[in-house]
Structures are given as C-alpha cells and as structure tokens.
A and B are shown apart, each in its own frame.
Chain A
Amino acid sequence: MTTPATTTPTAGPAAVRPRPVGRGRVIIAYRWEITKLVAQARTRATLAVCLIAPFVFVVLLDRQDRLPKDTLYGRWVHASGFATPLLILGFAAQWVFPLLTSIVAGDIFASEDQHGTWKTILTRSHSRSQIFWAKSLAAATFAVLVVTVLALSCLTAGVLLVGHQPLEGLSGTLLPPGRTAGLVLAAWATALPPLLGFTALGIMLSVLTRSSPAGIVGPIILGLLMQLYAFLNGADTIRHLLLVTPFDAWHGLFAAHPYYGPLRDGTFVSVAYIVICLAVAFTALRRRDITGG
C-alpha cells in the first residue's frame, strides 16, 4: 500500500541491493558507434568513392591535353605520378575535406534526434559524457580513415597509371622518387589537424542544430566562406585564424629549404577550433532536455 511521501527517506544508497551491471565505458560505446557507422550505406559509399575516384580522375586527366595549370602541380600531372596526390590535395582543401568529415561528424549526434534514439541509449548505464566522447572519437576515426584511404589511393593511382618519375620541388629542384613518396604522404598528413577541426565543427553543428543536413552542409559552407575571405585578401591576422589556411601548410615541405612555420601555426589554430567546438558541443549535450522521440 502506498503512503504519501512526507519525509525524505533516511535510507541511503547503501540500503540498495548491489547489482552486477557493467559500468559504462567509453570504449564499449565507441565500438558500437563504429558498428553503427559500418552498417550505414552512406559511410561505406563514401569510403568506396575515396578508393575509386582517384583512379577515375587520373584516367580522365590522361585522355585530355589541357592541364589544370592554374592549380599547384597541375602542369606536372602527365610528367610524374607524384603530382596527382598533390594536385588532389590542393583541390580537396576547398570543400572535399569538410564534406568527407562532416558526412559522419555532422550526422552522428543529429541522427539520434532523427531516429528518436537518444532516450534508447541514454537509459542504458552510459552517461552523456561517455556517449559524447564515444561519438566524437568515432567521427575522428572516420575522418582519419577516409583521408588515409584517399591519400593512398591517390598515390597509388598516380604511380600506377602515370609512373614514379622524379618530381620538381616548389623551388625548381628535382626531388628523387624515394623521398617524394614520403613527402607526399607527409603533405597529406598535414591536412589532418584542420580536417579534425572541421570534424569538431561538424560535431558542434550536429549537436546544436539537432539536424543532419545542417551538420553536414554547415562545415562545407563555412569552409567555402573562409576560402572566399582568404581569396579576397582579407586582413592577414584573420586569415591566420581561418581553419582553411592550415590546408596549405604542406607547401613548406616542398621548398628547397623546407619551412615549418605555417604547419606549426596551422596546428595551433586547428587545435583551438577542436577544443572550442567540442567544449560547446559537450556543454550543450550535457545540458539539453531530451524531449523528442
């Protein structure tokens, strides 16, 4: 029989029978986030495109005489296979990198709103913080994976279909093939910090808007606006604070006397974006009321 609650109970948690339930762990939630990503056609398709597109690109380029001369290493694409990954790297910074990461990062939180499944996972022994880190980690994993696949595929396509001729550095000296492959991969690796910056941006928009389209398109539009600002020769200090500027930091690696200043500054800026965006997203997710679904 029920009695009205007039006093607060004197018995504390100690009076509760303990139950052997696993405490939530980020690694468990992370594994399931990865499983969910693998089960989604969109993520598989993105990886497949990254794997195949460079080969298609090289074949198409091979058939035409006009070269993309305006782009860095554009005039070299027929002369050395190492130019292909660098040409694509320069081009990808415009909107492809933001798109590749936000396909997952912009959706991974909002899709729980879309499916109404927040209440399903948040009532199963895991805290919001744990779910947050698991999802952020999964989005970062995908970002790194997709860029690795794209980089290797570009390099392979170039070397297989064009050849491993020596490549000219940006200062005009020829680079030996063995060193070039390493330099190309290093150049792609410098794209990771700003890429993860866009991942964090996608995560933040995904949490704040609770909408996948906004989470996916938002980073692309912001990236293009930043490009536009840089293109219009805005103030230099602001240009250094843009998340697209670090995508050019690899140029320093191909100089006769390599310089790493832009790489260092770019990494710093990227980390700042990551910290701020994740902090905003984390706070918003912890505070919000889950009323949908």
Chain B
Amino acid sequence: MVDGVPAVEAVGLVKRFGGLTAVDHVDLRVDVGEVYGILGPNGAGKTTFLRMLFGLIRPDAGTLRVFGRTWAEAGPAMLDGVAGFIESPRFYPYLSGRRNLELLAGLDGGDADSRIDQVLDVVDLAGRAGDKVGGYSFGMRQRLGVAASLLRDPRLLVLDEPANGLDPAGIRDMRALVTRLAGSGLTVLLSSHNMDEVEEICDNVTIMRTGRVVYHGSIDQLRAQAPDPSHRLATSDDEQAMRLSAEHPAVSVTAHHDGGLALRAQTADADGYLIALGRAGVAVRALHLEIAPLESLFFMLTETDPATGSAPAGLPRQPRDLTGATP
C-alpha cells in the first residue's frame, strides 16, 4: 500500500456526448510508482477518460485529480510532471522531428530543450530527426510521441494504446521501453484493448465496457478469478476419452463445435487426465490452448450483460465473483 497523494484519482467521473454516456461514473485510482492499465474494447471510453485527464475535454460530473490537483484549481499546472499522448501522437508535418521537439520543449520551459538529443536517442530517432515529420512512418511518429513525452521528464506517463499500429518488433520495443521506464520509478497509466499487453506490463487494471468499470483490481487477483484454460484436444478414441473424463471431476471434456474435443481444466488437473488417457490406450494426437484464461475472462467481462454483477453506479466496484459465470 502506497501512502500519500495518488498520481491519478477519479471519483464518479461522467462524460456525455449528446445522448451517449462515454464515461459513466468511473472511479479509478493510480498510486505513485505503479503501472496501471485501462483495458476495454473499442468504444469503452478509455480515450475519453484520458482526454479528461489531460484537460482536453471537460467532465460533466465527478472529479479528477492528478497528484492532488484538479483542472479547475490548477489549470495547466495540473499537468506538471505529467506527459503522454492520446490516440496517435500528432506533430506539425512541415517541421522536422527535432524542430517539433524544440517547439514543445520551448512550451514546456525549464531545461526541457537540453534533453532533446537524449530522448531522440532513447526512441532511436536520432538519425532521422532532421527530416520533416510529414515524411515519417506511423511507427516513427509513435516513437516521436514517446520522445516528446519524455522531454517533460514526467513522473506520470499516460499512454493511449501505445502499441496501436506498430509492427511486432515495434510492439516489443514499446513494451520493453514502458517496462524500463516503470523500473525507473515512473508511474505509468496506459490504455489497451489487448489483455496480453496489460498482463505483461501492468500491476493493476481497470476493465471498462461502454463507459462503465466492470472490474478493477490487481492482475494477480484477476488471474485467480480467470476460468480454466480452454484447449482443443484430438485423440485416437474421442468416445472413450469422454467416458474417462467422468473419473476426473476437475476437468471438463465436451465435444468441440469444430470436431474433436474441448478440454477445460487447470494445468495440473489436465496433466492427470492426459496421463490417464495414455494408460487407457487412448493416444493424444493434438492438444493446444485455444483461449488464454485472462483473455476469456476479458471477453466474459466485456461481452456479457454489465447490469448483472456490477456494483451500483458511483460506488467503487469490487472484483466480480466470476466462479459461476460461463463464457
């Protein structure tokens, strides 16, 4: 438990666009030093939330504090020590990458311009910094966005789907960078629609769906509630394999809708069952993981009816009890 002022604290935050409630009574707290993920499918309200954090849009209700300050009290000073980008970072295409950074460093003030070379190195853009941004690839612009954020020497880094549109190597580099920055004590708040990404780099997560929080808690808590991993199983004798499963109550074996069998069990239980199959003369021909447990949990949370199991609006939501749920 970290004492003191949280890096980000939202209470009952609401934003409406006409009749649509994009962010619906969201409570969220990011403590200093943690890597926090906001996870949700398209249209969940992640970007809208982060725009409010940056003061780009005004909440209709609720309060949002960054290091204890609200936008109304502090104005742009609320963003002291905060940097990041919303959706894909944008720059002036008719200026070079370096000139764009010089401009932003000028606006930042302080000693930001002395860090330009350093941040260009960090994102591996030093060689192309003299080129106009109009000629940059998507991934280069994304990296320039990270450089522009680091220029502020932030204590809180806010990234909206930072891996969006990057190639596999770019995604790997981006994750490595975030992990490295987090290791240096930076607080990171990142949004994503990818459970893998959040699981890999975040300590805590809030899962959103159509503007509402459907889960929040640590990744470990989330793992504990995840359903059994689901595998596809092919054997030499599916009927006997089904019969044998009756002797293993911890595993569930059903006919797979695409042929073969569907096996749902924790790894240890599955092992016991598979050994039993071999003993009984049933050969295992194929076994592969179909849905990772956290991913299936994510689908359950964001595709089932949010009305069931979610706490009343305005109250902090405890992790949902998912033991009885079916995907």
The interface of chain A, by Cβ under 8 A from chain B, is: 1-6, 8-9, 11-13, 15-17, 19-25, 28-29, 31-32, 35-36, 39-41, 115-127, 289-291, 293
B73 contacts A by Cβ under 8 Å: yes
Q: Which residues of B contact A122 (CB under 8 A)?
A: 54-56, 76
Say yes or no: B54 contacts A4, CB within 8 Å: no
Q: A8-B63, A120-B104 are in contact. Are A15 and B5 (CB under 8 A)?
A: yes
Say yes or no: A5 contacts B28, CB within 8 Å: yes
How close is B110's CB to chain A, nearest CB, in angstroms? 5
Report the bound CA distance from A15 to B7 in whole Å: 12
Say yes or no: B56 contacts A13, CB within 8 Å: no
Say yes or no: A2 contacts B34, CB within 8 Å: yes
Chain B, range 65-86, C-beta contacts under 8 Å to A: 65, 67-69, 73-77, 79-86
How close is B62's CB to chain A, nearest CB, in angstroms? 11
Q: List 6 A-B contacts (CB under 8 A).
A: A9-B68, A23-B109, A36-B92, A116-B90, A123-B54, A289-B51
How close is B195's CB to chain A, nearest CB, in angstroms? 18
Contacts A124-B104, A125-B109, A293-B86 given; 12 further ones with Cβ under 8 A? A4-B316, A9-B6, A16-B67, A24-B107, A31-B106, A35-B103, A115-B93, A119-B54, A121-B107, A123-B55, A126-B76, A291-B51
3 smallest A-B Cβ distances: which pairs?
A22-B109, A4-B316, A289-B57
Among B106, B203, B316, contact of A5 (Cβ-Cβ < 8 Å): B316
Number of B interface residues, CB 8 Å?
67
Say yes or no: B57 contacts A291, CB within 8 Å: yes
Say yes or no: A117 contacts B68, CB within 8 Å: no
Q: A24-B76, A120-B148 are in contact. Are A2 and B29 (CB under 8 A)?
A: yes
B232 contacts A by Cβ under 8 Å: no
Report the bound CA distance from A192 to B166 in whole Å: 51
Among A25, A32, A115, A118, contact of B56 (Cβ-Cβ < 8 Å): A118
Report the bound CA distance from A10 to B154 in whole Å: 24
Say yes or no: A6 contacts B316, CB within 8 Å: yes
Residue on B nearest A22 in the bound complex, by CB: B109
Report the bound CA distance from A28 to B109 in whole Å: 9
How close is A84's CB to chain B, nearest CB, in angstroms? 35
Say yes or no: A2 contacts B216, CB within 8 Å: yes
Residue on B nearest A42 in the bound complex, by CB: B94
Report the bound CA distance from A123 to B85 in whole Å: 9
Say yes or no: A5 contacts B9, CB within 8 Å: yes
B241 contacts A by Cβ under 8 Å: no
Say yes or no: B79 contacts A2, CB within 8 Å: no
Say yes or no: B218 contacts A1, CB within 8 Å: yes
Say yes or no: B54 contacts A11, CB within 8 Å: no
Say yes or no: B79 contacts A117, CB within 8 Å: no
Report the bound CA distance from A31 to B94 in whole Å: 17
Q: Which of B80, B85, B216 has the most CB of A within 10 A?
A: B80
How close is A15's CB to chain B, nearest CB, in angstroms? 5
Q: Which residues of B contact A126 (CB under 8 A)?
A: 76, 107
How close is B87's CB to chain A, nearest CB, in angstroms? 7
Chain B, range 176-196, C-beta contacts under 8 Å to A: none
Chain B, range 1-42, C-beta contacts under 8 Å to A: 1-2, 4-6, 9-11, 27-31, 34, 36
Among B10, B29, B92, B148, contact of A3 (Cβ-Cβ < 8 Å): B29
Q: Which residues of B contact A31 (CB under 8 A)?
A: 106
Say yes or no: B90 contacts A11, CB within 8 Å: no
Say yes or no: B83 contacts A3, CB within 8 Å: no
Among A32, A127, A289, contact of B75 (Cβ-Cβ < 8 Å): A127
Q: Which residues of A contact B82 (CB under 8 A)?
A: 123
Say yes or no: B103 contacts A32, CB within 8 Å: yes
Report the bound CA distance from A4 to B110 in whole Å: 35
Say yes or no: A21 contacts B110, CB within 8 Å: yes
Report the bound CA distance from A31 to B109 in whole Å: 13
Report the bound CA distance from A239 to B26 in whole Å: 56
Report the bound CA distance from A116 to B67 in whole Å: 27
Say yes or no: A4 contacts B317, CB within 8 Å: yes
Say yes or no: A5 contacts B68, CB within 8 Å: no
Among B31, B95, B106, contact of A2 (Cβ-Cβ < 8 Å): B31
Residue on A nearest B82 in the bound complex, by CB: A123
B304 contacts A by Cβ under 8 Å: no
Q: Which of B27, B67, B203 has the most CB of A within 10 A?
A: B67
Say yes or no: B74 contacts A13, CB within 8 Å: yes
Say yes or no: B69 contacts A13, CB within 8 Å: yes
Say yes or no: A22 contacts B110, CB within 8 Å: yes
Residue on B nearest A14 in the bound complex, by CB: B68
Q: Which residues of B contact A32 (CB under 8 A)?
A: 103, 106-107
Report the bound CA distance from A41 to B4 in whole Å: 51
Say yes or no: B110 contacts A29, CB within 8 Å: no
Residue on A nearest B111 in the bound complex, by CB: A20
How close is B199's CB to chain A, nearest CB, in angstroms? 16
B306 contacts A by Cβ under 8 Å: no
Say yes or no: B89 contacts A120, CB within 8 Å: yes
Among B9, B68, B217, contact of A12 (Cβ-Cβ < 8 Å): B68
B167 contacts A by Cβ under 8 Å: no
Q: Which residues of A contact B31 (CB under 8 A)?
A: 1-2
B318 contacts A by Cβ under 8 Å: yes
B320 contacts A by Cβ under 8 Å: no
B108 contacts A by Cβ under 8 Å: yes
Say yes or no: B95 contacts A9, CB within 8 Å: no
Q: Which of A3, A21, A41 has the most CB of B within 10 A?
A: A21
Report the bound CA distance from A20 to B317 in whole Å: 38
Q: A16-B5, A289-B57, A291-B57 are in contact. Are A21 and B80 (CB under 8 A)?
A: yes
